[in-house]
Amino acid sequence: MHTSLLDCLLEYEVSGPAHFLFNIEAAFHEGQEVVEERLTITPSMKVRHFCNERSGNRFIRLDAPKGILSVNYHARVQLHSAPVPLHLDESPVTALPDEVLHDLMPSRYCESDSMRRIALQLFGHLPQGMGRVRAVESWIHESIEYQPGFTQSTTTAQDVFVQRVGVCRDFAHLGITLCRALNIPARLVVGYVHFAEPPQDFHAVFEAWLDGRWVLFDATRSAPIDRLVRIGTGRDAKDVAFATIFGDVKMLRKDITVEEGDMPPADDSEAAQPLAAGTAGL
Amino acid sequence: MHTSLLDCLLEYEVSGPAHFLFNIEAAFHEGQEVVEERLTITPSMKVRHFCNERSGNRFIRLDAPKGILSVNYHARVQLHSAPVPLHLDESPVTALPDEVLHDLMPSRYCESDSMRRIALQLFGHLPQGMGRVRAVESWIHESIEYQPGFTQSTTTAQDVFVQRVGVCRDFAHLGITLCRALNIPARLVVGYVHFAEPPQDFHAVFEAWLDGRWVLFDATRSAPIDRLVRIGTGRDAKDVAFATIFGDVKMLRKDITVEEGDMPPADDSEAAQPLAAGTAGL
Amino acid sequence: MHTSLLDCLLEYEVSGPAHFLFNIEAAFHEGQEVVEERLTITPSMKVRHFCNERSGNRFIRLDAPKGILSVNYHARVQLHSAPVPLHLDESPVTALPDEVLHDLMPSRYCESDSMRRIALQLFGHLPQGMGRVRAVESWIHESIEYQPGFTQSTTTAQDVFVQRVGVCRDFAHLGITLCRALNIPARLVVGYVHFAEPPQDFHAVFEAWLDGRWVLFDATRSAPIDRLVRIGTGRDAKDVAFATIFGDVKMLRKDITVEEGDMPPADDSEAAQPLAAGTAGL
Amino acid sequence: MHTSLLDCLLEYEVSGPAHFLFNIEAAFHEGQEVVEERLTITPSMKVRHFCNERSGNRFIRLDAPKGILSVNYHARVQLHSAPVPLHLDESPVTALPDEVLHDLMPSRYCESDSMRRIALQLFGHLPQGMGRVRAVESWIHESIEYQPGFTQSTTTAQDVFVQRVGVCRDFAHLGITLCRALNIPARLVVGYVHFAEPPQDFHAVFEAWLDGRWVLFDATRSAPIDRLVRIGTGRDAKDVAFATIFGDVKMLRKDITVEEGDMPPADDSEAAQPLAAGTAGL
């Protein structure tokens, strides 16, 4: 069992009435338990919480007035990540649960339809199973240069495959795309994890469906994914943006810290927002 | 009240074991009622049915052996389409139901993120409301040339916007994309409808969220959409393909007929498959 | 020495006044000599000939009236292809002649700027020289599936690299792009060659600059390139289209035959157009 | 008659041996005369000059050693720009000079083949002639937002058309593309001009072929194009990059000043490089 202490501070300059959709809270997910959490919105305002039942993603919606908006999420999360077996089989398509089938389909950032031949070329000859997804993960790690500032918010897996450069979400999108093209369901996971090298930030990895369960993979190999606190799960980055903003807004600040180990409970006396711990709170 | 008699015959040459996912049955949807239906699969084989609870889309999964596969869906459907008001307001983003928010996001074929400026240029000055979506629909009708055989299965809304040519699904994808870029939730609908000009085929249109309800639009103007029997509803064509095939398969035949008016009940004596009329059958 | 007997018949239905630019005649090129040729345009009309001094490409321009246009080019060409050494060095960029520098730049179909990293990944570790270009040629041969009907007139090298399918010009564009990305000047060559497998057609290959000379490469390996009768040389297919047409025109027929070996002189009695044999004729 | 005093200072950090191709000198062009010029390369090194005969573009090639490379070009140029008539006809394709034909073809940044229909939609109904190109220029000015930092070095006209944002070269590429799609030859021109608003920089505009001559257009309307000192003319930005660099190099500085009016001759005593004034010097 492992404990993570998270702190996420987002600050925006809002030039006119704006609507925000945040996805920054630790998800409702079997592998993790939110021991305590605190959401502080400044200035104080009405906030709506909702949760996607299937994914466990938790969302916050709010209408911010002109001025500075500050959102601070603080949580202590216990992780119960079960060890991943060294080998797992792929599931034949016919054996996939109905609701997993849609994780085989291409999405905004993951053009698995265009990349079917290349996926077979690179990985079609390998024995089916977890080793094949590990091969995808290794191939990306060795083939794509990690370099911030090159790709854009519209960069897709196909672009990354051609240009060979990107950041964590680009790595994850390419992994998803190659898996789907091999008929292995795959999806994006974003979360908090402690990076050995600063700066701390959200992390994006991918998850593949093997032998009846989802297994995490991280082609960047920049952090220990068994210690990832899951925020969101989705088809690709469009489903799990940490902030989706409608209105004229400029980000001023994004400070994230992730501390690991068993921390004493935080002092809650300054909590401005009611806790949303557990589905009951929604 | 209006009745449609549908017949859809699909025939495939299957070169090796293949898995099929079909989405050809009339959806479970408030505006329509399946009075009778018959699904005949030849050769006879085990078929799994499932339904997406939210969309009402009905799917058939089967493992076809080597040889010829024939799928025949026959149904009589009553439509209770309520008249659409002449004017409906747009819903401000803050008023959108949580589950409708994701119909604002870009998807595989609908790059609404890249087309935000152009959408505002073309339609940003218009009064908000249904008239604005009508303007999108008219603009597409006048700007895009309907021409089969030009676009491909990977053609996106952006391609259609540049190249100005496409078929019904391209028209619908562009409509969806422009709406989403204007912060109007939109999605794809496919169905059966009688075309004045042959050949008969599946039809694709789009649906926009206005004043708390979904409203259909058809930028091709090739058929009466109040008489559309809905098969599927989704983010874009990837969610509602009439057939998704895993394996080495060649389509031999796609024959669709849609007859309108009150028909006498069909003779069911040759029905080879149990009826799946109503959710109970799933 | 080798002789080829070429016949190229193009037929068009012209729906209104149209301007044509043809590039179908054997080029003025040191490796080949046009022994005899005959150009027959039906109906008879005024034709302008011109030649690009640098490339030796020969062009025919004409204004066709409404009706059927038939263009028949017939030629006997002797090839003096010098044997290509088994090894040639690459030229360092600083040693490239000024006029060859532009064959390093990206062009419409050859996005060498986007593919710099991937080219280095695949071929950067190989010793410089002709062997590296042979490696590019082999890699394309093994990685791209030859399949007519999949790519379009707007398909670029990047598309081919992702989708792994194409025809001869796609193979050549990818070869050009990878070479340029490696700082090896490269360009497109189209010509006539006898294919062992019908149907006969124009062929497209690429040429790389090695040790002060241009060397031909053919990633399709579908024909003996030392027997290629050169029609055109250019940056990519846009420079050497066999026909560029302005107006409402439909191609009815494209019949090409290439016979090899020493043929007796053809009977010229029916020649309707003056010969354009040698630069003097222009 | 108008005089411009130009100063261009480029500074690079060179991490290993690198080859540079510069295109920063005032071109040999009928509308302008280089009265005096001075090229100072630090450290002192061997420099090769060459000129493209057709375009009049002048290039400098050099091999820079590890260290800091500084290139300073200083010139006084007299402009004799003839007034442009208020109306000029388009030339029918059949009347285009052979060498102008290739300015109708698509290029790396200008996909005029994909944009034929949209060009006709927007401008096909207008009377042919200079007014139509003015309409293209105005349309771009009104439709594309000028915003540095959004587009990249691989952004094409098609991207700009969809995303509606860019800088001067993007504006010019879109102008070229729309003209070519209308069968009006067009090409890119880069040069020096004094911007009313700082910072000073190179400028990119486009040129269309009308009634037997090239006419300049500037869709940014940010500077007086009759006062543009021409550096380069080409199919698109790939032909006229101010610096093409082979090697590991980082730009440190780009300072450009353009002063207008009749200046006294500059003091040449510190000139480190021989003048290359006039073709004789090449």
pLDDT tens for B169-214 read 999 999 999 999 999 999 999 999 999 888 899 999 999 999 999 9
> Are residues C218 and C150 both part of a single domain?
yes
Mean per-residue pLDDT over chain B, rounded: 91
Whether C168 is in a domain gets the answer: yes
Cross-chain Cβ contact B121/D143 below 8 Å = yes
Whether D282 is in a domain gets the answer: no
Q: How many residue pairs bridge chain B and chain D with CB atoms within 8 Å of each other?
A: 31
Kindly indicate the confidence band of residue D279, based on its pLDDT and cuts at 50, 70 and 90: very low
Mean per-residue pLDDT over chain A, rounded: 91
**CA of B162 vs chain D CAs: smallest distance (Å):** 6
Residue A171 has pLDDT above 60, yes or no: yes
C111 has a chain D CB within 8 A of its CB: yes
**CA of A263 vs chain B CAs: smallest distance (Å):** 35
Q: At what angle do helices C168-181 and C116-123 cross, to 10 degrees?
A: 90
Q: Cα separation of D232 and D26, whole Å?
A: 8
pLDDT at residue number D67: 97
pLDDT at residue number C277: 33
Give the range among A180-189, A219-228, D273-282 with minimum mean pLDDT. Answer: D273-282
Kindly indicate the confidence band of residue D81, based on its pLDDT and cuts at 50, 70 and 90: confident
> Are residues D230 and D183 both part of a single domain?
yes
Residues with Cβ within 8 Å of C212's Cβ and at least 6 positions away in sequence, in order, are C91
Give the range among B49-53, C249-253, D123-127 with minimum mean pLDDT. Answer: B49-53
Cross-chain Cβ contact D162/B162 below 8 Å = yes
What does the DSSP assignment read for chain A? -EEEEEEEEEEEEESS-EEEEE--SPP--TTEEEEEEEEEEES----EEEE-TTT--EEEEEEEPSEEEEEEEEEEEEE-PPPPPS--PBPPGGGS-GGGGGGGS-BTTB-TTTTHHHHHHHHTTSPSSHHHHHHHHHHHHHHSEE-TTSS-TT--HHHHHHH-EE-HHHHHHHHHHHHHHTT--EEEEEEE---SSSPP--EEEEEEEETTEEEEE-TT--S-GGG-EEEEEESSTTTS-SEEEESSEEEEEEEEEEEES-PPPPP-TT--S----SGGG-
> Are residues C257 and C175 both part of a single domain?
no
pLDDT at residue number B83: 86
A165 has a chain C CB within 8 A of its CB: yes
Cross-chain Cβ contact C162/A162 below 8 Å = yes
Residue D72 has pLDDT above 90, yes or no: yes
What is the pLDDT averaged over residues B120-133?
A: 97
Tell me the CATH number at A102: 3.10.620.30
Single residue among B202, B219, B234 that ends a domain in this structure:
B234
- D182-211 pLDDT, tens digit per residue, is 999 999 999 999 998 888 999 999 999 999
- A94-120 pLDDT, tens digit per residue, is 999 999 999 999 999 999 999 999 999
> How many domains does chain B contain in total?
2
pLDDT at residue number D269: 46
Residue B271 has pLDDT above 50, yes or no: no
Cross-chain Cβ contact A162/C114 below 8 Å = yes
Cross-chain Cβ contact D115/B162 below 8 Å = yes
Residues of B in contact with A59 (CB under 8 A): 98
> Are residues B230 and B248 both part of a single domain?
no
pLDDT at residue number C280: 29
Residue D273 has pLDDT above 60, yes or no: no
Which candidate from B19, B93, B102 shows the least CB-CB separation from A19? B93
pLDDT at residue number D262: 57
> Are residues B133 and B229 both part of a single domain?
yes
Kindly indicate the confidence band of residue A32, based on its pLDDT and cuts at 50, 70 and 90: very high
Residue D281 has pLDDT above 50, yes or no: no
Residues of B in contact with D114 (CB under 8 A): 162-163
Whether D277 is in a domain gets the answer: no
The complex's ipTM works out to 0.90
Residues of A in contact with C163 (CB under 8 A): 114-115, 117-118
Kindly indicate the confidence band of residue D169, based on its pLDDT and cuts at 50, 70 and 90: very high
Determine whether D94 is exposed, middle or buried from the number of CB atoms within 10 Å of its CB (0-12, 13-18, 19+).
middle
Cross-chain Cβ contact D183/C50 below 8 Å = no
> Are residues A97 and A226 both part of a single domain?
yes
> Are residues B269 and B230 both part of a single domain?
no
Residues of A in contact with C117 (CB under 8 A): 145, 163-165
Strands (E), chain D: 2-14, 18-22, 32-42, 48-51, 58-64, 67-79, 145-146, 165-166, 186-192, 203-210, 213-217, 229-234, 243-246, 249-260
> Are residues D19 and D75 both part of a single domain?
yes
Q: How many residue pairs bridge chain A and chain B with CB atoms within 8 Å of each other?
A: 54
- D102: helix, strand or coil: helix
What is the pLDDT averaged over residues B71-92?
A: 93
Kindly indicate the confidence band of residue D148, based on its pLDDT and cuts at 50, 70 and 90: very high
Which candidate from B121, B158, B165 shows the least CB-CB separation from D117? B165
pLDDT at residue number A28: 95
Whether B88 is in a domain gets the answer: no
Show which of residues 187-226 on chain D sit within 8 Å of chain C, judged by CB atoms.
Answer: none
**CA of C260 vs chain D CAs: smallest distance (Å):** 33
pLDDT at residue number C232: 97
Residues with Cβ within 8 Å of D83's Cβ and at least 6 positions away in sequence, in order, are none
> Are residues B219 and B253 both part of a single domain?
no
**CA of B2 vs chain A CAs: smallest distance (Å):** 33
pLDDT at residue number A80: 87
Tell me the CATH number at D23: 2.60.40.2250
Whether C66 is in a domain gets the answer: yes
Residue C167 has pLDDT above 90, yes or no: yes
Whether C88 is in a domain gets the answer: no
Residue A224 has pLDDT above 70, yes or no: yes
Cross-chain Cβ contact A145/C117 below 8 Å = yes
Q: Name the residue among B1, B2, B4 with its Cα closest to residue B73.
A: B4
Cross-chain Cβ contact C106/D238 below 8 Å = yes
Residue A183 has pLDDT above 70, yes or no: yes
Residues of B in contact with D143 (CB under 8 A): 121
Mutate to test the interface with A, among C110, C113, C118 (most CBs of A within 10 A): C118
- D228-256 pLDDT, tens digit per residue, is 999 999 999 999 999 999 999 999 999 99
Whether D85 is in a domain gets the answer: no
pLDDT at residue number A271: 39
Residue D19 has pLDDT above 60, yes or no: yes
The reported pTM is: 0.88
> Are residues C229 and C245 both part of a single domain?
no
- C53-93 pLDDT, tens digit per residue, is 889 999 999 999 999 999 999 999 999 878 889 999 999 99
pLDDT at residue number A262: 57
Whether C270 is in a domain gets the answer: no
Cross-chain Cβ contact C107/D183 below 8 Å = no
**CA of A158 vs chain C CAs: smallest distance (Å):** 7
Which candidate from B19, B108, B153 shows the least CB-CB separation from A93? B19
DSSP B266: P
Which one has a higher pLDDT value, C210 or C30?
C210
Q: Could you list the residue range(s) of the whole structural domain that residue A60 is in?
A: 2-80+240-260
> Are residues B48 and B102 both part of a single domain?
no
Residue A276 has pLDDT above 60, yes or no: no
> Are residues B228 and B97 both part of a single domain?
yes
pLDDT at residue number D278: 32
Mutate to test the interface with B, among A21, A102, A105 (most CBs of B within 10 A): A105
